[in-house]
A and B are shown apart, each in its own frame.
Chain A
Amino acid sequence: MERKFERNDFGKRLKSMLKVDFRRMFTMPLLYIVVGVCLVIPILILVMTTMMDGTVSVNPQTGVETVIEGFDNVWQTIGSVSGAAMSMDLTGMCNINMLYFFIAVLVGLFVAEDFRSGYSKNLFTVRAKKTDYVISKTLVGFVGGALMLLAFFIGAMLGGAIAGVSFELGEVGVAQIAACMLSKLCLVAVFVPIYLAVSVAAKQKAWLSIVGSLCVGMLLFTMIPMLTPLDSGIMNVVLCLAGGAMFSVGLGAVSDLILRKTSLV
């Protein structure tokens, strides 16, 4: 007697996986913590640089005086225009690109929890194909990153209002700000597959996945100013979009291969 099995097509499998992953992400306190951090960071940057504006720092060895300049425009925090403060290392590092590190934490802990809790056993027993898992996790990371980006944008507006930094568009156009945000969003699609590949290789070792992701992320992080020039334009968006698509497909295939070839428990 032959047993008949219901056909599970790719669409059905992906839909159920997405349902599970999004339900999990939105019930995870971690998501709200990292989104909250992304909201607070630009507020702190704007308020603190305003407080430091005009402060003179003297190098005790050389006697060279440096005047610390604060942001003079809200849009500098999201990197859509260059300004005096953008050349400062500290503020340069604390700008919008910080969110790529928080995405590493989100993706790393999210994947590690699947393996640490043993949920991966239930998951991969009934899911012989791993593609839906990889696509679903990539989309979840992307949406998480998009939320962080949005929080950063709102934080920059709030910080600007609190610190009294100018909202004047000046030489910046709305299109430039939109292009900058879109570029950053497309860059999320570059970073998430990298973090996912590291995380599925690290499995339940959350520390390894985060450290690995941050190391790889740090390498790319130094390249971000080159990838997303501060004078944001449509070409930049196109390049980031192409990069995002390439990384998602290429590294998605790598993650799929890792899951297929390695032990899942």
Chain B
Amino acid sequence: MNAIEIRNLSKNFGEKQAVNGLNMTVPMGAIYGFIGENGSGKSTTEKMICGLIHPSGGQIKLFGKDHTDADVRAKVGVLIETPGCFQNYSVWNNLMLQAANLSIQNAETEVRKVLKTVRMEGAASNKYKNCSLGMKQRIGIAMALLGDPTLLVLDEPINGLDADGMRIMREVLVDITKNYGCTVVVSSHILGELEKIATHYGIIRGGRMIKEMTAEELETSCRTYVALQTRDMSRTKALLACKYSRVEEDESGYIRVYDAESPEGIVTYLYENGILVSEIKTAKIGLEEYYIDLMKEKEGR
């Protein structure tokens, strides 16, 4: 049984179709990276999963039951955009309030446990409004973790965080899947970070799911390329472009050749044309590049 099964989901806001016949399958226990550009319908889909907005059509099933089932929904934790906390309450009081909302028996013990999970034990007495963005996002996750959820829906939890904040958040997310055993749907623009934790991916564009795959499938789909540097980069690029169909220069000053049979072939070819290679390496494209490639492909570029 899957944690989430969405079939033909749609949502219209007046004339605008935010989600258009979306299909999505999230297996139980997965960390599902939900990827898409701004306005692609990620947040709308997540809000529909959580019952916060109503679909115009289609079906959402959570653990085999309709998403409006009260018993299933009581086990969903959510962090959408910002955490739902009262500004003037302390972190502790906000969490205790959510614990009361969920009828948790040993509320204090549970709150301490989730605070420890999100590395916030020392900040329990801080007023929520005085917390930094990174702390607020972690408080949001702590809120979502209360009540031992079976499904966590996190919308952009790493956005706006500094490098340290991202690292802590990544550790927290990995801990959650290890210790809580719940299914996590996490959307983010920071694909490099997502790549480190996700076990499954869903790529959405224009309200439609254009690709769903596992981390293993992504690994095999990601093409190998040869990156090199020479003294005469512009001539090198022109020469390589005559022989290979896809040659690009990246931000770090390397020329990338995507369809080369081997690095040796490139070195020989350039040597024969009077160019000496100063540095050469092979690498695989990451999720970010895969995503960009896929988007270009869909745009027909």
Q: Is the pairing of A and B real?
A: yes
Q: Which of B50, B51, B63, B71 contacts A7 (CB 8 A)?
A: B71
Among the listed stretches B95-103, B163-171, B270-278, which one makes contact with chain A, having 4 or more residues with CB under 8 Å of it?
B95-103
A125 touches B50 (CB 8 A): yes
Number of B residues near A (Cβ < 8 Å) is 43
Contact flag A264-B73 (CB < 8 Å), given A19-B100, A113-B86, A120-B84: no
A125 to B154, CA, bound (A): 13
The contact string, 1 if C-beta is below 8 Å from chain A, for chain B 69-92, is: 111111111101111111101000
- In the assembly, what is the distance between CA of A8 and CA of B239, in Å? 70
A265 / chain B contacts, CB cutoff of 8 Å: 47, 52-53, 80
Judge if B64 is at the interface, Cβ distance under 8 Å: yes
B52, B81, B86, B103: the one contacting A125 at CB < 8 Å is B52
Residues of B within 8 A of A13 (CB): 70, 103
Are A1 and B1 closer than 8 Å at their CB atoms? yes
Q: Is there contact, CB below 8 Å, between A5 and B63?
A: yes
Q: In the complex, A8→B147 CA distance in Å?
A: 13
With A5-B71, A12-B103, A117-B85 known to touch, is A122 a contact of B78 (CB < 8 Å)?
yes
The answer to whether A125 and B73 have CB atoms under 8 Å apart is yes
| Beta-carbon nearest neighbor of B80 in chain A | A121
Residue pair A127, B70 in contact (C-beta under 8 Å): yes
Report whether A3 and B150 are in contact in the complex, using a CB–CB cutoff of 8 Å. Answer: yes
How far is A5 from B75 in the complex, measured between Cα atoms in Å? Answer: 8
A1-18: CB near B (< 8 Å → 1, else 0) gives: 111011110001101110
- Given A121-B50, A265-B47, the answer on whether A126 and B84 have CB atoms closer than 8 Å is no
Contacts of A124 in B (CB 8 A): 50-52
Contact: A118 with B101, CB < 8 Å? no
Give per-residue flags for A122-155: 1 if the beta carbon is below 8 A from chain B beta carbons, else 0.
1111111100000000000000000000000000
With CB as the reference atom, state the residue of chain B lying closest to A5: B71
A128 & B70 in contact (Cβ 8 Å cutoff):
yes
Q: Which residues of B sit under 8 angstroms from A264, Cβ to Cβ? A: 51-53
User: Any chain B CB within 8 A of the CB of A59?
Assistant: no
With both chains docked as a complex, state the minimum distance between the C-beta of B16 and any C-beta of chain A, in angstroms: 14
Instruction: Give the contacts of B31-84 with A (CB-CB under 8 A).
Output: 47, 50-54, 63-65, 68-78, 80-84
Q: Contacts A20-B100, A118-B85; is A128 near B73 (CB within 8 Å)?
A: yes
- The docked-state distance in angstroms from the alpha carbon of A17 to that of B69 is 18
CB distance from A23 to the nearest CB of B (A): 7
Say whether A20 contacts B75, CB under 8 Å: no
A62 contacts B by Cβ under 8 Å: no
Contact of B51 among A12, A19, A118, A128 (CB under 8 A): A128
The distance from the CB of A113 to the nearest CB of chain B, in whole angstroms, is 7
**Shortest Cβ gap from B74 to chain A (Å):** 5
A89 to B72 CA separation, bound complex (whole angstroms)? 56
B176 within 8 A of A: no
B74 and A123: CB pair below 8 A?
no
**A3 partner residues in chain B, CB cutoff 8 A:** 1, 28, 63-64, 150
Q: Note all chain A residues with C-beta closer than 8 A to B102.
A: 16, 126
Interchain CA distance A108-B98 in the complex, whole Å: 21
Answer whether residue B143 sits at the interface, using C-beta atoms and an 8 A cutoff.
Answer: yes
B11 to chain A: closest residue by CB: A263
Chain A residues, Cβ within 8 Å of B76: 125-126
Write the residues of chain B forming the contact surface with A, with a CB cutoff of 8 angstroms: 1, 28, 47, 50-54, 63-65, 68-78, 80-87, 89, 93, 97-98, 100-103, 143-144, 147, 150, 153
Can you list 11 residue pairs at the A/B interface with Cβ under 8 Å? Answer: A3-B150, A5-B72, A15-B103, A23-B97, A118-B83, A119-B84, A126-B75, A126-B102, A127-B74, A128-B70, A265-B52
* Supplied contacts A128-B74, A265-B53, 12 more A-B pairs, CB within 8 Å: A5-B72, A20-B97, A24-B97, A118-B82, A119-B84, A121-B80, A123-B84, A124-B50, A126-B101, A128-B69, A261-B54, A264-B53
Give 10 closest A-B pairs by Cβ, nearest first.
Answer: A118-B84, A119-B84, A5-B71, A16-B103, A128-B70, A263-B53, A128-B73, A122-B84, A125-B50, A125-B78
